[in-house]
Protein backbone atom coordinates (compact mmCIF):
# COMPACT_ATOMS: atom_id res chain seq x y z
CA UNK A 1 0.00 0.00 0.00
CA UNK A 2 1.33 3.47 -0.91
CA UNK A 3 2.06 5.86 1.94
CA UNK A 4 -0.48 8.42 0.67
CA UNK A 5 -3.24 5.82 0.97
CA UNK A 6 -2.49 5.05 4.63
CA UNK A 7 -4.67 7.51 6.50
CA UNK A 8 -5.69 5.68 9.68
CA UNK A 9 -3.98 3.73 12.43
CA UNK A 10 -5.79 0.59 11.24
CA UNK A 11 -4.35 0.96 7.72
CA UNK A 12 -0.89 1.45 9.24
CA UNK A 13 -1.18 -1.78 11.20
CA UNK A 14 -2.38 -3.70 8.12
CA UNK A 15 0.59 -2.39 6.12
CA UNK A 16 2.88 -3.97 8.71
CA UNK A 17 4.66 -0.71 9.51
CA UNK A 18 7.33 -1.03 12.22
CA UNK A 19 8.23 2.14 14.13
CA UNK A 20 11.83 2.76 15.13
CA UNK A 21 13.72 5.47 17.01
CA UNK A 22 15.43 8.26 15.08
CA UNK A 23 18.86 6.98 16.17
CA UNK A 24 18.00 3.55 14.74
CA UNK A 25 16.81 5.19 11.53
CA UNK A 26 20.13 7.01 11.17
CA UNK A 27 22.09 3.86 12.02
CA UNK A 28 20.18 1.53 9.65
CA UNK A 29 20.28 3.93 6.71
CA UNK A 30 24.00 4.65 7.28
CA UNK A 31 24.73 0.91 7.22
CA UNK A 32 22.77 0.61 3.97
CA UNK A 33 24.66 3.49 2.34
CA UNK A 34 28.04 2.14 3.43
CA UNK A 35 27.19 -1.30 2.03
CA UNK A 36 26.15 0.30 -1.27
CA UNK A 37 29.30 2.50 -1.24
CA UNK A 38 27.12 5.62 -1.47
CA UNK A 39 28.65 8.96 -0.47
CA UNK A 40 26.95 9.88 2.80
CA UNK A 41 28.13 13.47 3.30
CA UNK A 42 28.00 14.94 -0.20
CA UNK A 43 29.88 18.19 -0.77
CA UNK A 44 32.15 17.85 2.29
CA UNK A 45 35.83 17.88 1.34
CA UNK A 46 38.97 17.28 3.38
CA UNK A 47 37.23 15.27 6.12
CA UNK A 48 37.31 11.88 4.37
CA UNK A 49 39.91 10.38 6.73
CA UNK A 50 39.28 12.45 9.86
CA UNK A 51 35.89 13.92 10.73
CA UNK A 52 33.54 11.76 8.62
CA UNK A 53 34.71 8.37 9.99
CA UNK A 54 34.32 9.73 13.53
CA UNK A 55 30.84 11.02 12.71
CA UNK A 56 29.87 7.67 11.21
CA UNK A 57 31.12 5.85 14.32
CA UNK A 58 29.04 8.20 16.51
CA UNK A 59 25.90 7.50 14.43
CA UNK A 60 26.50 3.74 14.58
CA UNK A 61 26.86 4.13 18.38
CA UNK A 62 23.54 6.06 18.55
CA UNK A 63 25.30 8.98 20.24
CA UNK A 64 24.31 12.59 20.62
CA UNK A 65 27.14 14.57 19.02
CA UNK A 66 29.15 17.71 19.74
CA UNK A 67 31.07 19.15 16.76
CA UNK A 68 33.93 21.20 18.18
CA UNK A 69 35.91 23.51 15.91
CA UNK A 70 36.70 27.05 14.79
CA UNK A 71 34.32 29.06 12.61
CA UNK A 72 33.86 28.14 8.98
CA UNK A 73 34.60 24.42 9.39
CA UNK A 74 31.25 23.11 8.02
CA UNK A 75 29.91 22.05 11.43
CA UNK A 76 26.30 23.06 10.75
CA UNK A 77 26.46 21.68 7.22
CA UNK A 78 27.49 18.26 8.56
CA UNK A 79 24.48 18.30 10.89
CA UNK A 80 22.11 19.24 8.05
CA UNK A 81 23.48 16.48 5.82
CA UNK A 82 22.47 13.94 8.47
CA UNK A 83 18.90 14.49 7.20
CA UNK A 84 19.81 12.27 4.22
CA UNK A 85 20.14 9.35 6.64
CA UNK A 86 16.50 9.58 7.78
CA UNK A 87 13.61 7.59 6.30
CA UNK A 88 11.85 9.57 3.60
CA UNK A 89 8.50 9.66 5.47
CA UNK A 90 7.36 8.79 8.98
CA UNK A 91 3.75 8.52 10.23
CA UNK A 92 2.42 10.69 13.03
CA UNK A 93 -0.87 11.20 14.83
CA UNK A 94 -2.62 13.91 12.85
CA UNK A 95 -2.85 17.19 14.77
CA UNK A 96 -0.11 16.29 17.26
CA UNK A 97 2.06 19.22 18.32
CA UNK A 98 5.04 16.98 19.06
CA UNK A 99 5.00 14.53 16.12
CA UNK A 100 3.60 11.61 18.12
CA UNK A 101 4.42 8.13 16.84
CA UNK A 102 1.01 6.36 16.37
CA UNK A 103 2.41 3.18 17.97
CA UNK A 104 4.15 4.99 20.86
CA UNK A 105 2.20 8.19 21.63
CA UNK A 106 3.60 10.36 24.41
CA UNK A 107 1.41 13.50 24.46
CA UNK A 108 -1.90 13.58 26.28
CA UNK A 109 -3.61 14.68 23.04
CA UNK A 110 -2.39 11.64 21.06
CA UNK A 111 -2.96 9.12 23.86
CA UNK A 112 -6.57 10.27 24.35
CA UNK A 113 -7.26 10.44 20.59
CA UNK A 114 -6.06 6.86 20.04
CA UNK A 115 -8.01 5.69 23.11
CA UNK A 116 -11.15 7.34 21.73
CA UNK A 117 -10.89 6.45 18.01
CA UNK A 118 -8.78 3.30 18.03
CA UNK A 119 -7.93 2.09 14.54
CA UNK A 120 -9.83 5.04 13.05
CA UNK A 121 -7.26 7.50 14.46
CA UNK A 122 -6.22 9.78 11.55
CA UNK A 123 -2.57 9.52 10.44
CA UNK A 124 -0.47 12.08 8.54
CA UNK A 125 3.04 11.76 7.09
CA UNK A 126 6.12 13.87 7.78
CA UNK A 127 8.87 14.20 5.16
CA UNK A 128 12.50 14.05 6.33
CA UNK A 129 13.12 17.61 5.08
CA UNK A 130 10.79 18.81 7.86
CA UNK A 131 12.59 16.85 10.56
CA UNK A 132 15.36 19.35 11.25
CA UNK A 133 15.24 22.03 13.94
CA UNK A 134 18.01 24.50 14.69
CA UNK A 135 18.59 27.02 17.44
CA UNK A 136 21.45 29.49 17.73
CA UNK A 137 22.40 29.65 21.39
CA UNK A 138 22.40 33.22 22.64
CA UNK A 139 22.42 34.54 26.22
CA UNK A 140 18.77 35.62 25.92
CA UNK A 141 17.43 32.09 25.25
CA UNK A 142 15.03 31.02 28.01
CA UNK A 143 13.76 27.68 29.31
CA UNK A 144 10.34 28.66 27.93
CA UNK A 145 11.85 28.99 24.43
CA UNK A 146 13.41 25.57 24.27
CA UNK A 147 11.29 23.46 26.67
CA UNK A 148 7.98 25.24 27.19
CA UNK A 149 5.80 27.30 29.51
CA UNK A 150 2.27 27.64 30.84
CA UNK A 151 0.03 29.43 28.33
CA UNK A 152 -2.53 31.61 30.21
CA UNK A 153 -4.44 32.37 26.99
CA UNK A 154 -4.92 28.65 26.33
CA UNK A 155 -6.06 28.19 29.94
CA UNK A 156 -8.61 31.00 29.58
CA UNK A 157 -9.94 29.84 26.19
CA UNK A 158 -10.32 26.22 27.30
CA UNK A 159 -11.49 27.26 30.78
CA UNK A 160 -8.88 25.07 32.41
CA UNK A 161 -7.17 25.29 35.77
CA UNK A 162 -3.41 25.94 35.86
CA UNK A 163 -3.16 22.50 37.48
CA UNK A 164 -4.23 20.91 34.18
CA UNK A 165 -1.33 19.91 31.90
CA UNK A 166 -3.33 20.91 28.82
CA UNK A 167 -2.41 24.56 29.55
CA UNK A 168 1.19 23.85 28.61
CA UNK A 169 2.73 25.38 25.49
CA UNK A 170 5.59 23.21 24.23
CA UNK A 171 8.94 24.78 23.37
CA UNK A 172 11.30 24.00 20.49
CA UNK A 173 12.69 20.72 21.83
CA UNK A 174 9.38 18.87 22.44
CA UNK A 175 8.14 20.16 19.07
CA UNK A 176 11.25 18.64 17.47
CA UNK A 177 10.37 15.16 18.73
CA UNK A 178 11.57 12.50 16.23
CA UNK A 179 13.78 15.13 14.56
CA UNK A 180 17.42 16.15 14.42
CA UNK A 181 17.82 19.11 16.77
CA UNK A 182 20.90 21.32 16.42
CA UNK A 183 22.04 23.85 19.01
CA UNK A 184 24.74 26.05 17.52
CA UNK A 185 27.41 27.68 19.73
CA UNK A 186 26.39 25.66 22.78
CA UNK A 187 28.76 27.44 25.24
CA UNK A 188 26.82 30.68 24.67
CA UNK A 189 23.77 29.07 26.27
CA UNK A 190 23.41 30.14 29.90
CA UNK A 191 24.42 27.49 32.44
CA UNK A 192 20.87 27.21 33.83
CA UNK A 193 19.54 26.48 30.33
CA UNK A 194 22.22 23.85 29.79
CA UNK A 195 21.13 22.26 33.09
CA UNK A 196 17.58 22.04 31.70
CA UNK A 197 18.93 19.82 28.92
CA UNK A 198 20.35 17.18 31.32
CA UNK A 199 17.26 15.07 31.86
CA UNK A 200 16.05 15.44 28.29
CA UNK A 201 19.29 13.90 27.05
CA UNK A 202 19.42 11.06 29.54
CA UNK A 203 16.09 10.30 31.20
CA UNK A 204 13.47 11.98 29.00
CA UNK A 205 12.00 14.04 31.88
CA UNK A 206 11.06 17.67 31.42
CA UNK A 207 9.80 20.13 34.01
CA UNK A 208 7.70 23.15 33.09
CA UNK A 209 6.55 25.54 35.82
CA UNK A 210 6.12 22.78 38.38
CA UNK A 211 4.72 20.22 35.95
CA UNK A 212 6.94 17.16 35.88
CA UNK A 213 6.23 15.43 32.61
CA UNK A 214 7.54 12.06 31.54
CA UNK A 215 7.96 12.78 27.84
CA UNK A 216 10.19 10.10 26.39
CA UNK A 217 11.29 12.32 23.51
CA UNK A 218 12.95 10.56 20.61
CA UNK A 219 15.61 12.94 19.29
CA UNK A 220 19.05 13.17 17.74
CA UNK A 221 20.91 16.09 19.31
CA UNK A 222 23.82 17.70 17.47
CA UNK A 223 25.67 20.52 19.23
CA UNK A 224 28.28 22.80 17.70
CA UNK A 225 30.86 24.75 19.67
CA UNK A 226 33.93 26.88 19.12
CA UNK A 227 36.83 26.02 21.47
CA UNK A 228 37.50 29.73 21.94
CA UNK A 229 34.06 30.03 23.57
CA UNK A 230 35.24 27.92 26.49
CA UNK A 231 37.36 30.82 27.72
CA UNK A 232 35.77 33.81 26.04
CA UNK A 233 32.05 33.83 26.59
CA UNK A 234 31.10 30.72 28.51
CA UNK A 235 31.60 26.99 28.73
CA UNK A 236 29.75 23.72 28.37
CA UNK A 237 28.87 22.66 31.89
CA UNK A 238 30.55 19.38 32.86
CA UNK A 239 27.43 17.23 33.49
CA UNK A 240 26.09 18.18 30.05
CA UNK A 241 29.40 17.30 28.36
CA UNK A 242 29.24 13.98 30.18
CA UNK A 243 25.85 13.24 28.59
CA UNK A 244 27.01 13.97 25.01
CA UNK A 245 28.18 10.66 23.57
CA UNK A 246 30.79 11.80 21.02
CA UNK A 247 32.79 15.00 20.70
CA UNK A 248 34.28 15.37 17.23
CA UNK A 249 37.02 17.86 16.36
CA UNK A 250 36.70 19.61 12.98
CA UNK A 251 39.54 21.37 11.15
CA UNK A 252 40.42 23.56 8.17
CA UNK A 253 41.60 22.11 4.83
CA UNK A 254 45.20 20.92 5.07
CA UNK A 255 46.18 21.47 1.42
CA UNK A 256 45.54 23.97 -1.35
CA UNK A 257 43.86 21.48 -3.72
CA UNK A 258 41.13 20.66 -1.17
CA UNK A 259 40.66 24.35 -0.37
CA UNK A 260 40.27 25.13 -4.10
CA UNK A 261 37.54 22.49 -4.45
CA UNK A 262 35.62 24.01 -1.50
CA UNK A 263 35.94 27.56 -2.87
CA UNK A 264 34.84 26.55 -6.37
CA UNK A 265 31.84 24.70 -4.89
CA UNK A 266 30.70 27.48 -2.56
CA UNK A 267 31.51 30.73 -4.40
CA UNK A 268 28.40 32.38 -5.84
CA UNK A 269 29.43 33.98 -9.11
CA UNK A 270 27.23 35.31 -11.90
CA UNK A 271 27.25 33.02 -14.97
CA UNK A 272 28.33 36.06 -17.03
CA UNK A 273 31.47 36.33 -14.89
CA UNK A 274 32.38 32.72 -15.69
CA UNK A 275 31.96 33.38 -19.39
CA UNK A 276 33.85 36.67 -19.56
CA UNK A 277 36.63 36.24 -16.94
CA UNK A 278 39.46 33.75 -17.17
CA UNK A 279 41.03 32.83 -13.82
CA UNK A 280 44.58 31.43 -14.15
CA UNK A 281 45.26 28.31 -12.09
CA UNK A 282 48.06 30.13 -10.27
CA UNK A 283 45.57 32.82 -9.21
CA UNK A 284 43.38 30.14 -7.60
CA UNK A 285 46.43 28.70 -5.80
CA UNK A 286 47.44 32.15 -4.61
CA UNK A 287 43.97 32.89 -3.27
CA UNK A 288 44.05 29.77 -1.07
CA UNK A 289 47.66 30.43 -0.03
CA UNK A 290 46.55 33.85 1.25
CA UNK A 291 44.12 32.11 3.63
CA UNK A 292 46.85 29.68 4.77
CA UNK A 293 49.16 32.66 5.41
CA UNK A 294 46.42 34.44 7.39
CA UNK A 295 46.08 31.39 9.67
CA UNK A 296 49.82 31.52 10.37
CA UNK A 297 50.15 35.31 10.67
CA UNK A 298 51.46 36.77 13.93
CA UNK A 299 49.11 39.73 13.45
CA UNK A 300 45.95 37.58 13.41
CA UNK A 301 44.43 35.83 16.43
CA UNK A 302 44.86 32.12 15.69
CA UNK A 303 42.41 31.13 18.44
CA UNK A 304 39.64 32.96 16.62
CA UNK A 305 40.45 31.14 13.38
CA UNK A 306 40.24 32.22 9.75
CA UNK A 307 37.00 30.93 8.25
CA UNK A 308 36.78 29.10 4.93
CA UNK A 309 34.32 31.86 4.05
CA UNK A 310 37.33 34.16 3.60
CA UNK A 311 38.52 32.37 0.45
CA UNK A 312 34.94 32.10 -0.84
CA UNK A 313 34.13 35.81 -0.49
CA UNK A 314 37.65 36.76 -1.63
CA UNK A 315 37.18 34.75 -4.83
CA UNK A 316 33.85 36.51 -5.44
CA UNK A 317 35.58 39.87 -4.89
CA UNK A 318 38.43 38.88 -7.22
CA UNK A 319 36.02 38.13 -10.07
CA UNK A 320 34.15 41.37 -9.44
CA UNK A 321 37.38 43.40 -9.46
CA UNK A 322 38.32 41.99 -12.86
CA UNK A 323 34.75 42.45 -14.11
CA UNK A 324 34.61 46.10 -13.01
CA UNK A 325 37.93 46.82 -14.74
CA UNK A 326 36.70 45.21 -17.97
CA UNK A 327 33.37 47.06 -17.85
CA UNK A 328 35.10 50.42 -17.46
CA UNK A 329 37.46 49.59 -20.32
CA UNK A 330 34.56 48.46 -22.52
CA UNK A 331 36.01 44.94 -22.89
CA UNK A 332 33.88 41.79 -23.05
CA UNK A 333 36.60 39.36 -21.94
CA UNK A 334 39.50 39.69 -19.53
CA UNK A 335 41.90 37.63 -17.42
CA UNK A 336 42.43 38.07 -13.68
CA UNK A 337 45.63 40.00 -12.88
CA UNK A 338 47.67 39.86 -9.72
CA UNK A 339 46.97 43.55 -9.16
CA UNK A 340 43.27 42.58 -9.01
CA UNK A 341 44.07 40.87 -5.70
CA UNK A 342 44.08 44.33 -4.07
CA UNK A 343 40.31 44.13 -4.55
CA UNK A 344 40.01 41.24 -2.09
CA UNK A 345 41.34 43.26 0.86
CA UNK A 346 37.80 44.13 2.09
CA UNK A 347 37.01 40.38 2.16
CA UNK A 348 40.07 39.78 4.35
CA UNK A 349 39.68 42.65 6.80
CA UNK A 350 36.13 41.65 7.70
CA UNK A 351 36.99 38.01 8.35
CA UNK A 352 40.01 38.20 10.68
CA UNK A 353 40.45 39.13 14.33
CA UNK A 354 43.66 41.09 14.84
CA UNK A 355 45.92 40.86 17.89
CA UNK A 356 47.29 44.08 19.42
CA UNK A 357 50.23 44.31 16.99
CA UNK A 358 47.86 43.81 14.08
CA UNK A 359 45.63 46.63 15.29
CA UNK A 360 48.68 48.90 15.40
CA UNK A 361 49.62 47.89 11.85
CA UNK A 362 46.09 48.42 10.55
CA UNK A 363 43.74 45.80 9.07
CA UNK A 364 44.22 46.88 5.44
CA UNK A 365 48.02 46.87 5.75
CA UNK A 366 47.97 43.42 7.39
CA UNK A 367 45.84 42.12 4.51
CA UNK A 368 48.18 43.72 1.93
CA UNK A 369 51.22 42.16 3.61
CA UNK A 370 49.55 38.72 3.70
CA UNK A 371 49.06 38.85 -0.10
CA UNK A 372 52.81 39.51 -0.43
CA UNK A 373 53.64 36.65 1.95
CA UNK A 374 51.47 34.29 -0.09
CA UNK A 375 53.32 35.25 -3.28
CA UNK A 376 56.64 34.62 -1.54
CA UNK A 377 55.54 31.22 -0.22
CA UNK A 378 54.28 29.96 -3.60
CA UNK A 379 57.15 31.29 -5.71
CA UNK A 380 59.69 28.45 -5.04
CA UNK A 381 57.12 25.91 -6.31
CA UNK A 382 57.36 27.39 -9.82
CA UNK A 383 60.80 29.02 -10.07
CA UNK A 384 64.30 28.51 -8.60
CA UNK A 385 64.59 29.54 -4.99
CA UNK A 386 66.10 32.96 -4.33
CA UNK A 387 68.85 32.67 -1.74
CA UNK A 388 69.16 35.48 0.77
CA UNK A 389 72.96 35.33 0.69
CA UNK A 390 74.99 34.49 -2.41
CA UNK A 391 78.51 35.17 -3.62
CA UNK A 392 79.02 38.08 -5.99
CA UNK A 393 80.42 35.77 -8.66
CA UNK A 394 77.33 33.55 -8.59
CA UNK A 395 74.81 34.13 -11.36
CA UNK A 396 71.10 34.17 -10.66
CA UNK A 397 68.30 33.48 -13.16
CA UNK A 398 66.81 36.80 -12.05
CA UNK A 399 69.86 38.98 -12.74
CA UNK A 400 68.64 40.02 -16.21
CA UNK A 401 65.25 41.10 -14.86
CA UNK A 402 66.86 43.16 -12.11
CA UNK A 403 69.30 44.68 -14.65
CA UNK A 404 66.38 45.62 -16.91
CA UNK A 405 64.83 47.64 -14.08
CA UNK A 406 68.22 49.12 -13.17
CA UNK A 407 68.63 50.39 -16.75
CA UNK A 408 65.05 51.72 -16.84
CA UNK A 409 65.34 53.96 -13.82
CA UNK A 410 62.12 55.81 -14.53
CA UNK A 411 60.43 52.65 -13.38
CA UNK A 412 57.61 50.56 -14.63
CA UNK A 413 54.09 51.76 -13.87
CA UNK A 414 51.18 49.34 -14.06
CA UNK A 415 47.92 51.25 -13.85
CA UNK A 416 44.84 49.48 -12.44
CA UNK A 417 42.62 50.43 -15.39
CA UNK A 418 44.94 49.34 -18.23
CA UNK A 419 43.16 47.70 -21.13
CA UNK A 420 44.20 44.10 -21.73
CA UNK A 421 46.22 44.99 -24.84
CA UNK A 422 48.15 47.74 -23.02
CA UNK A 423 48.72 45.44 -20.02
CA UNK A 424 50.25 42.74 -22.23
CA UNK A 425 52.45 45.22 -24.13
CA UNK A 426 53.75 46.58 -20.83
CA UNK A 427 54.72 43.13 -19.49
CA UNK A 428 56.14 42.01 -22.85
CA UNK A 429 58.48 45.01 -22.72
CA UNK A 430 60.33 43.30 -19.83
CA UNK A 431 61.93 40.82 -22.22
CA UNK A 432 63.95 38.88 -19.57
CA UNK A 433 60.62 37.66 -18.17
CA UNK A 434 60.02 35.66 -21.36
CA UNK A 435 63.40 33.97 -20.99
CA UNK A 436 62.66 33.05 -17.37
CA UNK A 437 59.24 31.58 -18.21
CA UNK A 438 60.67 29.73 -21.21
CA UNK A 439 63.34 28.12 -19.04
CA UNK A 440 61.23 27.18 -16.01
CA UNK A 441 57.58 27.13 -17.17
CA UNK A 442 57.80 26.08 -20.83
CA UNK A 443 54.32 24.51 -20.96
CA UNK A 444 52.57 27.68 -19.82
CA UNK A 445 49.83 28.94 -22.16
CA UNK A 446 50.04 32.48 -23.54
CA UNK A 447 46.85 33.43 -21.68
CA UNK A 448 48.25 32.29 -18.31
CA UNK A 449 51.74 33.70 -18.90
CA UNK A 450 50.87 37.33 -18.18
CA UNK A 451 49.61 36.56 -14.68
CA UNK A 452 52.80 34.57 -14.04
CA UNK A 453 54.97 37.46 -15.30
CA UNK A 454 53.30 39.79 -12.83
CA UNK A 455 53.65 37.09 -10.16
CA UNK A 456 57.44 37.04 -10.76
CA UNK A 457 57.66 40.82 -10.32
CA UNK A 458 55.72 40.69 -7.03
CA UNK A 459 57.95 37.84 -5.81
CA UNK A 460 61.14 39.74 -6.63
CA UNK A 461 59.79 42.60 -4.53
CA UNK A 462 59.17 40.22 -1.61
CA UNK A 463 62.75 38.95 -1.92
CA UNK A 464 64.02 42.58 -1.97
CA UNK A 465 65.39 42.37 -5.54
CA UNK A 466 62.89 44.99 -6.75
CA UNK A 467 60.86 47.69 -4.99
CA UNK A 468 57.16 48.30 -5.37
CA UNK A 469 55.17 51.44 -4.62
CA UNK A 470 51.40 51.59 -4.49
CA UNK A 471 49.81 54.85 -5.64
CA UNK A 472 46.22 55.86 -6.31
CA UNK A 473 46.05 54.75 -9.93
CA UNK A 474 48.23 51.65 -9.79
CA UNK A 475 51.60 50.13 -8.88
CA UNK A 476 55.16 51.15 -9.74
CA UNK A 477 58.01 48.62 -9.86
CA UNK A 478 61.60 49.91 -9.64
CA UNK A 479 65.13 48.77 -9.03
CA UNK A 480 65.55 49.08 -5.23
CA UNK A 481 68.77 51.08 -5.49
CA UNK A 482 68.02 52.99 -8.71
CA UNK A 483 66.50 56.01 -6.99
CA UNK A 484 69.37 56.18 -4.52
CA UNK A 485 72.04 56.07 -7.27
CA UNK A 486 70.22 58.58 -9.47
CA UNK A 487 70.10 60.90 -6.46
CA UNK A 488 73.87 60.71 -6.14
165 DSSP 8-state letter: G
Ranges under pLDDT 70 in the chain: 1, 155-166, 203-214, 228-234, 388-394, 409-410, 482-488
Asked if 27 and 121 sit in the same domain, the reply is yes
| 207 CA to centre of own chain | 36
Asked if 234 and 333 sit in the same domain, the reply is no
Asked if 275 and 241 sit in the same domain, the reply is no
C-alpha Rg value of the chain to the nearest Å: 31
Domain with residue 290: its CATH number is: 1.10.8.80
127 Cβ partners below 8 Å, 6+ apart? 88, 89
Element (H, E) at 206: strand 205-208
Look at residue 293 and tell me if it is in a domain. yes
Angle ∠(427,416,418) on CA atoms, nearest 5:
55
Asked if 423 and 349 sit in the same domain, the reply is no
How many folded domains does the chain comprise? 3
Asked if 243 and 274 sit in the same domain, the reply is no
Burial 195-229 (b: 16+ CB within 10 A, else e): ebbeebbeeeebebeeeebebebbbbbbbbbbebb
20 Cβ partners below 8 Å, 6+ apart? 28
Asked if 234 and 264 sit in the same domain, the reply is no
Task: Return the pLDDT at 160.
Answer: 67
196 DSSP 8-state letter: H
Look at residue 390 and tell me if it is in a domain. no
Asked if 21 and 116 sit in the same domain, the reply is yes
Look at residue 335 and tell me if it is in a domain. yes
Q: Nearest-CA neighbor of 174 among 82, 98, 282?
A: 98
Asked if 223 and 112 sit in the same domain, the reply is yes
Beta-bridge mates of residue 134: 182
Pick from 354, 381, 408: which residue ends a domain?
381
Asked if 290 and 423 sit in the same domain, the reply is no
| 440 CA to centre of own chain | 37
Length of the chain: 488
CA dist 24 and 36 (Å) reads 18
Domain with residue 53: its CATH number is: 3.40.50
68 Cβ partners below 8 Å, 6+ apart? 224, 225, 226, 227, 247, 248, 249, 250
CA dist 208 and 215 (Å) reads 12
Look at residue 62 and tell me if it is in a domain. yes
CA dist 24 and 87 (Å) reads 10
CA dist 449 and 427 (Å) reads 10
For residue 327, the SS3 value is helix
pTM beyond 0.75, yes or no: yes
Pairing relation of β-strands 467-471 and 474-478? antiparallel
Task: Return the pLDDT at 190.
Answer: 85
CA dist 368 and 346 (Å) reads 10
Task: Return the pLDDT at 488.
Answer: 45
pLDDT digits (tens, 9 = 90+) for 403-433: 898 888 667 899 888 999 999 999 999 999 9
Asked if 263 and 120 sit in the same domain, the reply is no
Identify the burial level of 458 via C-beta atoms within 10 angstroms of its C-beta, where 0-12 means exposed, 13-18 middle and 19 or more buried.
buried
Residue-number span of the structural domain to which 112 is assigned: 3-141+172-190+198-206+213-249
Domain with residue 482: its CATH number is: 1.10.10
Identify the burial level of 344 via C-beta atoms within 10 angstroms of its C-beta, where 0-12 means exposed, 13-18 middle and 19 or more buried.
buried
Asked if 377 and 463 sit in the same domain, the reply is no
Look at residue 117 and tell me if it is in a domain. yes
The secondary structure of 394-416, three-state, reads: CCCCCHHHHHHHHHCCCCEEEEC
Look at residue 163 and tell me if it is in a domain. no
Look at residue 165 and tell me if it is in a domain. no
Rounded (10°) CA dihedral 471, 473, 475, 480: -40
Decide if 292 contacts 305 (C-beta within 8 A): no
Beta strand ranges found along 18-128 (DSSP E):
65-68, 89-93, 123-127
Task: Return the pLDDT at 164.
Answer: 65
Look at residue 394 and tell me if it is in a domain. no
Asked if 25 and 137 sit in the same domain, the reply is yes
Amino acid sequence: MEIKNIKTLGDLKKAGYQSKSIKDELRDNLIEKIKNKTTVFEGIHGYENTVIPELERAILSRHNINLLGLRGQAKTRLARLMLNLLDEYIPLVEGSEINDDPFQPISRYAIELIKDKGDSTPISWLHRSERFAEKLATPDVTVADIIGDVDPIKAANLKLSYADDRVLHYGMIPRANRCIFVINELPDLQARIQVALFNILQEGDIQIRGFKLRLNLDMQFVFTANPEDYTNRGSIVTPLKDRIGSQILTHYPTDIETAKIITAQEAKSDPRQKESIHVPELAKDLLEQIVFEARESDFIDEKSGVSARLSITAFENLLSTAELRALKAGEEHTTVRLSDFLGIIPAITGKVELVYEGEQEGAAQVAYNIIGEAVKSLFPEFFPKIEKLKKESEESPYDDIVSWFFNNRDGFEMLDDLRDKEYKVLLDAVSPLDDLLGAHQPKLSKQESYFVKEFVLWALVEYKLLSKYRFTEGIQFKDPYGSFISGL
